[in-house]
Chains A and B, each alone.
Chain A
Amino acid sequence: MSKSATSQAAQRKSAMSSLLGGGKTNRILVIVTFMFIPLLLLAVFTYIPFLEMVRFSFFNRTYLDEGTFVGWKNYIDVFSRKDIFGSLIVSVYYMGGAVVQLALALFFASLMVFKAKGSSIYKACMFFPYLICGIAVGFIFKFFYAHGYVLDSILGLFGIPLEDCPLWLQNQNINNIALVATSVWRYTGQNMVLFLGAMMSVDNELYEAASLDGAGRWQQFKYIILPSIKTIIVLNLILSISGSLSAFEPPYVITNGTMGTGTYFVIMNRIAHENQKVGLACAMAIVLLGIIVLCTIGQNLFFKYVFKDGSEDDVTRAERKAAQKAAKLARRGGARVHG
């Protein structure tokens, strides 16, 4: 239908161009009216704050007081203050969590590609945590980890007495691992749904042909599934760097960043709104943005050079096409890791 419409339109094209002249004011009018509000909002709530942020980051100021110019001091503080530097260390835990999360998501998505009865139920169960709001996730796991409550009771079922259970949220050796586990719980299902989407974009006949040719599941995984999603995996790994710095709500509710669990955003929130050190908080935000921009550039370079022709000899054209499709999907979307 659209094909015939196109040819019709082509026929009418000459008539069209003569009409365009008359439509010129209409054209300008529509451009201006349709873009005015979105651009105004973009300027007021994104770019003006952004420029202000750059300016503030060189001042030692509070919300109301303009303060004094301090040069690069705030930036030096970002890397030398113990609490902020500590939060960068904490984010390493979250990156580790992101790797575990991607591995789990990949594992379960692969299991689901090989047909299983009731897979839509498993998928829904694993995905649902993603839709729960961060504050609720915080409360759920505050309860989960509290001494003598859910986790300790579960361990009790396996014969581990309460005295042997560590204080999950107070013990500084493990509390960050416990908090990262909440992130893994929250986002694994969402990652899995994304992977599954990419895997399903491979032509189903490919799997059938492969199994007719006697390819085992491992071979199918290695030669069909993995190539179709390697782009989306790399993309998620890169995104996890900024994602791990942006983790906020669960640690905010569960420990409020005490006992060495403050993520970058939790610390930033405290510095900005409790300590009112607006200049320092702005410098933190700019550093974060710098990291994100670097990641984005790195990601583009990676896709340009490493995946350029993308494939070993054994990747067929169809597979490459699927990989490209996945890449497109990923670049468009991309999983949110943590946050």
Chain B
Amino acid sequence: MGKLKHMKLGDWIFNIVQYVMLISASIIALIPVVVCIFTAFKTDAEYQATTPLVLPESFGNFDNFVQAFTKANMLRGFLNTGIVLIVVLVLSILFASMLAYVLDRFRFIGSGLIRNLFMFASLIPGIATQVTVYQIMYNLRLINHLYGYIIVLCGTDIISIYIFLQFFENLPKSLDESAILDGCSYFGVFFKILFPLLKPAIVTSCVLKGVSVYNEYYMSNLYLQSSELKTISTALYTFTGPYGSQYNYICAGVLITILPILVLFLICQKQVYGGMAAGAVKG
């Protein structure tokens, strides 16, 4: 009896510690962003006069957002990022699923080698090879064109291939076989039978690839240099120059870029977590 009482006290203490720890960790995780929200709604005068922890006078002051949006040409950034995102997602899903289909369903000379080539490629850090990729892009006249950037993003896409390979391993081969007996060609098998079944893998790879393309900075900085080709992350980077320490504008810019990702995350949390576990292969 005494033991039971003791355990209950222990449970109680554990629960308190558990909640205090979890809640304070959540607060610490949010503080840097929340402070940005406060600051982004402050007028210049308010920003000068108050510390960052003070709430803004009103959350209705969108001047900084408008300023940030127009000065950094974020509309252009969103437009370019949007185009790149859609094209890259469509192409990389198509290419990766076709490649995974061939590698999983057929055994031929060199199929093992090809698989290993892709595996090894995932070890090579992306930023490291850009020195020589830059030269190739230059020779192919792909610099300063959206399509050049799209091509290079598709070319460095290993994550989706992994995801589709895993998925095909779990799709029964009997599906292909019976379709072929019914007179389907291999192309028909892939496009009519298998592709529609890939939906979960497509969602996972869209989430992962989407986030990484949206956040990509290094390559868009290298390959999209003219100002009308800025993507959202290079547009955000322009705040290092003219605004210096005008953090009320910078914070507004930061929040504008975060917002779409936040919305996506809130809508499909489950897929995002699932995607992490399934395909956190490489940046």
A143, A149, A333: the one within 8 Å of B277 (CB): A333
Known pairs A2-B174, A12-B181, A133-B217; A122 contacts B22 (CB<8 A)? yes
Known pairs A126-B26, A135-B217, A253-B237; A140 contacts B33 (CB<8 A)? yes
A194 touches B277 (CB 8 A): yes
A193 CB within 8 Å of chain B: yes
Interface-lining segment among A43-51, A80-88, A92-100: A43-51
Interface-lining segment among B57-65, B82-90, B250-258: B250-258
B124 CB within 8 Å of chain A: yes
With a cutoff of 8 Å between Cβ atoms, the chain A residues found around residue B25 in the complex are: 104, 108, 122, 125-126
Q: Write the nearest CB–CB distance from A323 to chain B, whole angstroms.
A: 16
With a cutoff of 8 Å between Cβ atoms, the chain A residues found around residue B253 in the complex are: 139
Known pairs A150-B53, A281-B131, A333-B276; A139 contacts B26 (CB<8 A)? no
With a cutoff of 8 Å between Cβ atoms, the chain B residues found around residue A53 in the complex are: 128-129, 131-132
Q: Write the nearest CB–CB distance from B264 to chain A, whole angstroms.
A: 8
CA distance A333 to B174 in the complex (A): 28
With a cutoff of 8 Å between Cβ atoms, the chain A residues found around residue B276 in the complex are: 190, 193-194, 197, 333
With a cutoff of 8 Å between Cβ atoms, the chain A residues found around residue B127 in the complex are: 246, 248, 265, 268-269
A128 touches B262 (CB 8 A): yes
A69 CB within 8 Å of chain B: no
For residue B255, which residue of chain A has the nearest CB? Answer: A136
CA distance A42 to B133 in the complex (A): 12
Q: Write the nearest CB–CB distance from A146 to chain B, whole angstroms.
A: 7
A38 touches B280 (CB 8 A): no
B36 CB within 8 Å of chain A: yes
With a cutoff of 8 Å between Cβ atoms, the chain B residues found around residue A63 in the complex are: 134-135, 138
B229 CB within 8 Å of chain A: no
A5 touches B174 (CB 8 A): yes
A5, A37, A146, A333: the one within 8 Å of B280 (CB): A333
CA distance A208 to B25 in the complex (A): 27
CA distance A193 to B53 in the complex (A): 30
A128 touches B215 (CB 8 A): no
A293 CB within 8 Å of chain B: yes
Chain A, 100-124, CB within 8 A of any chain B CB: 104, 107-108, 111-112, 114, 116, 119-122, 124
CA distance A140 to B279 in the complex (A): 27
Q: Write the nearest CB–CB distance from B59 to chain A, whole angstroms.
A: 19
Chain B, 143-184, CB within 8 A of any chain A CB: 151-152, 154-156, 161-162, 166, 172-175, 177-178, 180-181
A38 touches B98 (CB 8 A): yes
Known pairs A49-B132, A126-B25, A141-B32; A249 contacts B217 (CB<8 A)? yes
With a cutoff of 8 Å between Cβ atoms, the chain B residues found around residue A38 in the complex are: 95-96, 98-99, 161
B9 CB within 8 Å of chain A: no
- Chain B count of residues within 8 A CB distance of the other chain: 103
With a cutoff of 8 Å between Cβ atoms, the chain B residues found around residue A194 in the complex are: 276-277, 280
B98 touches A34 (CB 8 A): yes
B118, B154, B233: the one within 8 Å of A135 (CB): B233
Chain B, 110-138, CB within 8 A of any chain A CB: 114, 117-118, 121, 123-125, 127-136, 138
Instruction: Report 13 cross-chain contacts, Cβ distance below 8 Å, ordered by A residue.
Output: A16-B181, A23-B186, A31-B102, A38-B99, A49-B129, A52-B136, A116-B18, A144-B35, A149-B52, A150-B52, A193-B277, A268-B127, A332-B162
Shortest beta-carbon contacts, A-B, top 7: A45-B155, A133-B215, A41-B155, A285-B128, A125-B26, A9-B174, A34-B98
Q: Other CB < 8 Å A-B pairs besides A193-B273, A285-B131, 9 of them?
A: A16-B177, A34-B98, A56-B132, A122-B23, A132-B261, A134-B217, A135-B217, A139-B251, A143-B247
Residues of A in contact with B (beta carbons under 8 Å apart): 2, 5-6, 8-9, 12-13, 15-16, 19, 23, 26-27, 29-31, 34-35, 37-39, 41-42, 44-50, 52-53, 56, 63, 104, 107-108, 111-112, 114, 116, 119-122, 124-129, 131-136, 139-141, 143-144, 146, 149-150, 153-154, 156-157, 185, 188-190, 193-194, 197, 216-217, 242, 246, 248-249, 253, 265, 268-269, 272-273, 278, 281-282, 284-285, 288-289, 292-293, 296, 329, 332-336, 339
